[in-house]
Amino acid sequence: MGPPNRDGPCGLWSLGQGTLCSPQSEAATRLGVFEKMDPIWLRFAMFHKVRIPRQDLLNRSGDITPEGTYVTHVKDARQHFSESLGSLSSGRVAIAGMSVVNLKLAVSIALRFSATRRQFGPTDEEEVPVLEYPMQQWRLLPYLAAAYALDHFSKSLFLDLVELQQGLLGKDRSARQAELGREIHALASAGKPLASWTAQRGIQECREACGGHGYLAMNRLGDLRDDNDPNCTYEGDNSVLLQQTSNYLLGLLVRRDQGGARIESPLKTVDFLEAYPNLLGHRFEGSSPEDCLDSSVPLAAYEWLVCYLLRESYQKLNQEKQSGSNDFEARNNCQVYCCRPLALAFLELTVVRRFHEHVHQPDVPSPLRAVLGRLSALYALWSLNQHTALLYRGGYFSGEQAGKTVENAILALCAQLKDDAVALVDVIAPPDSILNSPIGRADGELYKNLWSAVLQESKVLERASWWSEFSANKPVIGSLKSKL
């Protein structure tokens, strides 16, 4: 479908020539610019009894005959639904990638700044880089690990989407193709929220970790935050999208319990749920921080967590229905403390598993595997630590030592990664001309670059326009009081 032959006030539409200018077009105008996104306008159009030509229909999976009859070549309802999911998933996969890019830019700026900015020290003779402080490491390095893990996930999910689109173009009507569409839909519906929310929190943390310099406009952290914020809403509000993922997981359990179907999928992201009852009996086995320095330990914990939340969500849904709620009400009443954390935990598990498997591939050089393994373990433990209350409530953790073990492992991994942080940033950071941040340049000349950028600003060596009002023409005492 192409744009109309002439530009209307509402941009590109799949409408014929003259539609927007027809008498039936009741309104077509611009509502206003999106906040902090000057080139993008919110537009609307209203129509009344406007006829759209049949040839303008988007009819890959269904069509309307000249006689007005709906026809489709897809007879299976599940396959028909799957075919319509590809277009929805494409945008969400793209936004997940956009969010990861913003996160990578932010951590590049903040970590380069932290490695060169010196402040205080054990003696008065020499100050130390702020990255040497455990607090700064704990604030920033988990987001560096998240950038690596989510970057790998978003790229692998894109390749999965390419496989789905190839099947659609090749008119693959197999059951596997239909199931692949549903699985990618579930992954994309949780992947966009996880990536955009992680970037949102990460950019803000990077901004604060750079002190006053983080709020200086020329250093771009404010721009990155503003650029990323709409990603939480594009292609669907994040909290609403997560319902698609939890519905997918609950549907698998219903088919297993009611029809005896195996729980499996083309990308194998849910295959572990086949051992669902047995996994619920597992318990945390780490007795020291050293036991947790490989991502296989948090990976096992995540499998238990997803099974636990799936059981809780399933039981809550059935309880709501038994109490008289209809399906719509029952699902809404399950979202906050059951289905929402279920969807996020499932996606975090998928990210952790894919990055863990990538790091442990045989062709990864041993020295590289060591540092990537630390990133993998740090992201997994840091993400898992946000579910500590659930791990204790469900009985996977017991005693205070389990929680302390995870926390100490996170701090140990941060300390091990701090010396590699700048090198890891150099791998993912774009050229300085693209990063365009004086405090984030690769040469490490923090103060030189910052001062040079300041001097290039307009009128920086001149007094402010209001100077005379507070010097030569000082206000009379009491004249500035409120007149209210």
Given this model, what pLDDT does residue 169 score?
86
In the chain, where the domains are located = 1-54, 78-424
Distance of alpha carbon 20 from alpha carbon 15, whole angstroms = 8
Q: Is the pLDDT of residue 209 over 50?
A: yes
Which range is most confident: 2-11, 187-196, 232-241, 359-368? 187-196
- Look up tokens 């771009």; give the residue: 220
- Asked if 353 and 272 count as a contact pair (C-beta separation under 8 A), the reply is no
Q: Is the pLDDT of residue 20 over 60?
A: no
Distance of alpha carbon 60 from alpha carbon 40, whole angstroms = 30
Distance of alpha carbon 377 from alpha carbon 389, whole angstroms = 20
Give the helix ranges, DSSP H, for 49-133: 77-116
Fold assignment, 78-424: Butyryl-CoA Dehydrogenase, subunit A; domain 3 (1.20.140)
Q: Reduced to 3 states, what is the DSSP secondary structure of residue 200? A: helix
Given this model, what pLDDT does residue 97 score?
96
pTM reported for the whole predicted model: 0.86
**What is the chain's mean pLDDT, rounded?**
87
Convert the pLDDT of each residue in 110-148 to its tens digit. Answer: 999 999 988 887 777 788 999 999 999 999 999 999 999
Annotated catalytic residues are: 235
- Asked if 57 and 71 count as a contact pair (C-beta separation under 8 A), the reply is no
Q: Reduced to 3 states, what is the DSSP secondary structure of residue 480? A: coil
Convert the pLDDT of each residue in 229-273 to its tens digit. Answer: 999 998 899 999 999 999 999 999 999 988 788 999 999 999 999
Given this model, what pLDDT does residue 38 score?
54
Q: Reduced to 3 states, what is the DSSP secondary structure of residue 315? A: helix
Distance of alpha carbon 310 from alpha carbon 462, whole angstroms = 64
- Look at strands 63-64 and 37-47 and give their pairing: unpaired
Of the candidates 249, 454, 440, the residue with the CA atom closest to the CA atom of residue 334? 249
Number of Cβ within a 10 Å radius of residue 286: 20
Ramachandran sector of residue 70 (left: φ over 0; alpha: ψ -120 to 50; beta: rest):
beta
